[in-house]
């Protein structure tokens, strides 16, 4: 089975977190640890949660994607 849902779920969590001048603050490892902690807290299998979050990333609307991009651009100082 592909592990891309784990990567995508980590990227989804990262998109919700803060940004700095260097870019997205949370690493994929940090985001994965957060996801694993949440799955344990809610008694859900980590693979199932990662698939749900991966789907959430893939289903982001163009407006949500634009908002994420603006947040990042502002944080790194490239926006006007």
Token pair, residue 80, equals 């006007």
pLDDT band of residue 78 (cuts 50, 70, 90) is confident
* pTM greater than the 0.75 cutoff: yes
Given a cut of 90, whether residue 1 has pLDDT beyond it is no
CB atoms within 10 A of CB 43: 6
pLDDT for the residue 79: 58
Gap between the Cα atoms of 22 and 11, Å rounded: 16
Q: What is the pLDDT of residues 6-41, one digit of tens each?
A: 999 999 999 999 999 998 999 999 999 999 999 999
pLDDT averaged over every residue in the chain: 92
pLDDT over 70 (residue 2): no
Helix axes 28-41, 4-16, angle to 10 degrees: 90
């Amino acid at each position: 089975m592909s592990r891309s849902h784990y990567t995508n779920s980590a990227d989804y969590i990262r998109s919700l977190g803060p940004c700095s001048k260097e870019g997205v603050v949370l690493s994929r490892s940090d985001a994965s640890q957060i996801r694993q902690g949440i799955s344990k807290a809610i008694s859900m299998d980590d693979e199932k949660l990662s698939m749900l979050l991966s789907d959430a990333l893939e289903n982001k609307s163009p407006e949500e994607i634009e908002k994420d991009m603006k947040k990042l651009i502002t944080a790194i100082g490239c926006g006007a």
